[in-house]
Structure 1
Amino acid sequence: MLIKNVIKRSDMISCTLCKDAPCSSACKVIDPAGALLGIWFDNQDVAAMKLPDVNPCVKCEALCEKACVNRGSVPIKHLITELYEKVRPMAEIPVPEEQSRLACDLCGIPLENPFLLSSSVVASTYDMCARAFEAGWAGVCFKTICSLDIHEASPRFSAIKGDNGSILGFKNIEQLSDHSVAENMEIFRRLKKNYPTKFILASIMGQNEEEWESLAKLCEENGADAVELNFSCPNMQEDGLGSDIGQVPELVEKFTRAAKRSTTIPVLAKLTPNVATMSPAAEAALRGGADGIAAINTIKSIVGVSPYTYVSTPAVKGKSAVGGYSGNAVKPIALRFIAEIGQNPVLKDMHISGMGGIETWKDALEFILMGSGSIQVTTAVMQYGYRIIDNLKEGLNYYLAQMGIKSVKDIIGAGLDTVSDTTDVLERDTILFPTFDLEKCNGCGRCVISCDDGGHQAIRFDDRKPKLDGSKCVGCHLCRLVCPREAIAAGKKRIKA
């Protein structure tokens, strides 16, 4: 079983994950770009098992590498060979031919798989939603519909990036749909007519009870399968909207009740993470009649203050603003809120539609294990496109088949019993020492530096080799985290004196 990836993203750091990738056009035998996407999105076993039985790269002239837009920078032939030699022998089963294990529901309405686009620019026009449906997404949460006159700033995005240019954290100051209500209703009608089995979740925002009520009714009348109440957008120009509502349980209850008065379809409250705890707002939504909770929306943030202009990004004519932060960096925060809702006995019958930093099927699985019955994605789509749905579905389906799990629904919330709000439940009578693999170790000494200056001075450095001093080690495992060679693992336990 592949618990961790054999090939690292860093091994293909120069790959730009091209559109209409020249490497695949050049190769007449396999799809190198598809295999590279599998590596990038934590789906190596599926990528390896989809290859032909015999490695065609052994005798080829690496035409894929010659065609690469970063010619000579991406070791495509080597990476494919790694899939054959290191990953394929460890893969336990063939790639399943069908994906019925992924079938689930959102408040009783069938979904072909758990994956939806979340309310944002990625689900804001008919064409975009149609292309997402064609790609394999089960549904969309359409960009928030309102009666406000929306005018956006430019630019309105910024990011914190990794060494290869991939986005770790993403900030936006974008608001709501800039189409009229009538235009959006026409989009719903067309989508439902042309894609009757796909799920349409209509995100709405009203300025008063009457608007919440009328917008919910309109969405149902024009084909929406469910309504999501936006109590969480942090980017509103006016006070008393978006996350201002989500921070006041009384308003959450009042406006949820207003929306429920006019519709018979499920209603989800989308809640803000800009609170200490989400349960008060979630319980208020339940009292108002909500059928589910969607979480999390983006986190209020400031990104990239310029050392020259002193303005944070995105800068608009010398000014900036606090905006919503998303991307893989927020996933731990999102999981904490999902677990909080999932563990709350008052909310036990509420559907949770989870989002916040999901890029890979493993990310999605974590949300499911913490209680999410459906998954929503935006930032990863903005970066990599609708095509990521292939690896989301294939990876999760392969995992379920490999584990002998008949349905994704069987593991919703399966990890909740392992999580505690406090650390007082943790066993504290033993120390788990690290152990060093000296064959992998290159003698860099990073573990020694971190242990000396951020730990307990428990590692000696003799002849450029680390050696543990068990009398000082407290088993914090900082050394494991900083080792660039993954040469440190969990070792033996010792009972404390």
Structure 2
Amino acid sequence: MYYSNMKSVDISKCILCHDAVCTKACPAMDPARIIRALRFDNAAGASMMLPKEDVCLHCDGKCQNVCPAEVPIQKLMSGLRKEFPEQKEVPGLDDVDLSCDICGVKLENPFMLSSSVVASNYEMTARAFEMGWSGAAFKTICLMDIREASPRFSTVKTGEGSFYGFKNIEQLSDYELEENLNFFRELKKNYPSKVILASIMGRNEEEWTYLAKVVTEAGADVIECNFSCPNMEAKNTGVDVGQDPETVKRYVQAVRRGTNIPILAKMTPNVADMRPAARAAIEGGADGIAAINTIKSIINVDLDTFTTAPTVNGKSMVGGYSGVAVKPIALRFISDMYKDPAIRGHHISGMGGIETWRDGMEFIALGSGSLQVTTAVMLYGYRIIDDLLLGTKIYMAENGVKSISELIGRAVDGIVENDEIERDTIVYPKFYRDHCVGCGRCYIACRDGGHQALSFDEETHRPTLIPDKCVGCHLCALVCPEHAIRGDGKRMGKKKK
């Protein structure tokens, strides 16, 4: 599709302004909102925001003239109208039900804030609720004296400058316990339909039981046990707990002694296999699992100073890595747990790199029953909920899906063990010559990183497949910048060696 080719070039130029000047300059539509929808993989939703008439045809382009990032707005609007010649209508959109539940507690939709700075006080969380988020896992509360470092964030960026990976060395809530409990009380009073997950962390069984008791009394709907923070100054807390199944079980039992509301155990990805600790949590009385927390990481070594980011007085530490870069790892853990007989049937709240509605649906298809988001909110704001909700509704309506529950685990059966993969045939790549620009990227990749199965005509600048050498790895299709090679060729039986 058109936007699959343009997204990394023109759309990514938009810096997603607050109070965008392009929208102020356009009397006919909201170009900033439309481009935001495109940025978050919601082209269908963006098309619904276009005026019925093509107002860009005879416009002087003032919107893009005032854009500080020089985004080619008219080109984007023309391309969108080309893909959707008429204002898109989605039959059944109003019939889609986004409601679901978390261990029996109703959610208006599957999208919640995960336990972090994005849900750390009343004002922030109330604003998120007003904008459409269904719930929030509050930043972890404890009885410890939390001291934070400064600075405490750093990023990995793509070649175009957009955020890809995010590292933090932040710990838990630095509000006093009673302040946090008051936040809970006020939020439940003013937003009774929203769900509060009280993330807690203790240093011993007594603290876990006490925290469970007080957050329950303050109105929490669900407790989330933080067994996974990798940044703790206090020893034998956070990730140290999550790596020891016996301690996980013991602390869940302690939490259960203090509450009668659902309990989620938040698991660490800093293990080879998450299932033993998750099973232990279920055995201890947890009603479900939350995963994943951040991944231990070191990023961005400065080769002049030989320090890493974030640098605190010349030193740094291993910190938690998040963002879109961790999504494949998170999906693997979600799938593992959903398929496990001891865990399946218990709620899984999925997180780790969710930025678009499509990301969210992938988590649900692999077994998540609810979703949590932090890093994307930190980078782009609570407003991303607009396209998370609209994109999900459009997808469900177009595919005849009435309820989120119909999608949970739908993709799991397609993931099998290594020895179950069919290895007797080859799918040859298919070449679309009218899209080829003659860059030769496919030829270079196959020659230097594949099986030398392409020849390259120096005059026409066109590749040709050498079938006898091709093994059907599809590296050529993956590196093609114009989608001129695709993996939709014929499946053929393997030649005998």
| Superposition TM-score, scaled by structure 2 size | 0.97
Per the alignment, residue 323 of structure 2 pairs with 327
Q: Provide closer, same or farther for how the CA distance between residues 373 and 3 of structure 1 changes in structure 2, counting only shifts above 3 A.
A: farther
Per the alignment, residue 69 of structure 1 pairs with 68
Per the alignment, residue 9 of structure 2 pairs with 10
Within 5 Å, give how 1:277-288 maps onto structure 2: 277-288=273-284
- The one-letter amino acid paired with 2:343 is L
Per the alignment, residue 83 of structure 1 pairs with 80
| Greater Cα offset, 436-445 or 125-134 | 436-445
**In structure 1, how many angstroms separate the alpha carbons of the residues matched to 2:163 and 2:237?**
29
Per the alignment, residue 434 of structure 2 pairs with 439
- 1:277-317 alpha-carbon deviations (Å, 9 max, x no partner): 01100100001000010000000000001101111110111
- The one-letter amino acid paired with 1:437 is Y
Q: Any unmatched runs of 5+ in structure 2?
A: none
Within 5 Å, give how 1:39-54 maps onto structure 2: 39-54=38-53
The answer to whether the 8 Å contact 2:368/2:408 transfers is yes
- The one-letter amino acid paired with 1:493 is R
The answer to whether the 8 Å contact 2:50/2:87 transfers is no
- The one-letter amino acid paired with 1:61 is D
Within 5 Å, give how 1:139-150 maps onto structure 2: 139-150=135-146
Q: Quote the offset at 1:408 in angstroms.
A: 1.0
Per the alignment, residue 220 of structure 1 pairs with 216
Which residue of the other structure, out of 449, 454, 458, is the alignment partner of 2:449? 454
Large movers: runs of 4+ above 3 Å: 2-7, 87-92
Which residue of the other structure, out of 333, 341, 358, is the alignment partner of 2:337? 341
- The one-letter amino acid paired with 1:75 is P
The answer to whether the 8 Å contact 1:282/1:293 transfers is yes
Per the alignment, residue 35 of structure 1 pairs with 34
**In structure 2, how many angstroms separate the alpha carbons of the residues matched to 1:88 and 1:366?**
29
The answer to whether the 8 Å contact 1:299/1:325 transfers is yes
The answer to whether the 8 Å contact 2:12/2:162 transfers is no
Give aligned-pair identity as a percent: 56
Per the alignment, residue 25 of structure 2 pairs with 26
- 1:232-290 alpha-carbon deviations (Å, 9 max, x no partner): 00000122000000000000000000001110110000000000101100100001000
Query: SS at 1:184's partner residue?
Result: helix
**In structure 1, how many angstroms separate the alpha carbons of the residues matched to 2:32 and 2:273?**
43
Q: Quote the offset at 1:366 in angstroms.
A: 0.2
Q: Quote the offset at 1:89 in angstroms.
A: 5.7
**In structure 2, how many angstroms separate the alpha carbons of the residues matched to 1:442 and 1:57?**
29
Query: SS at 1:392's partner residue?
Result: helix
- 1:451-481 alpha-carbon deviations (Å, 9 max, x no partner): 1111000000013110000000000001111
Q: Quote the offset at 1:95 in angstroms.
A: 8.4
**In structure 2, how many angstroms separate the alpha carbons of the residues matched to 1:91 and 1:413?**
30
- The one-letter amino acid paired with 2:256 is K
Q: Quote the offset at 1:93 in angstroms.
A: 2.3
Within 5 Å, give how 1:96-495 maps onto structure 2: 96-97=93-94, 100-420=96-416, 422-462=417-457, 463=459, 464-490=461-487, 491-495=489-493
The answer to whether the 8 Å contact 1:144/1:177 transfers is yes
Query: SS at 1:448's partner residue?
Result: helix
- The one-letter amino acid paired with 2:327 is K
**In structure 1, how many angstroms separate the alpha carbons of the residues matched to 2:88 and 2:447?**
40
- The one-letter amino acid paired with 1:96 is L
The answer to whether the 8 Å contact 2:56/2:77 transfers is yes
Q: Quote the offset at 1:84 in angstroms.
A: 1.1
The answer to whether the 8 Å contact 1:32/1:76 transfers is yes
- The one-letter amino acid paired with 1:453 is D
| Greater Cα offset, 365-374 or 308-317 | 308-317
Q: Provide closer, same or farther for how the CA distance between residues 63 and 3 of structure 1 changes in structure 2, counting only shifts above 3 A.
A: closer
Query: SS at 1:10's partner residue?
Result: coil
Give the number of aligned pairs: 492
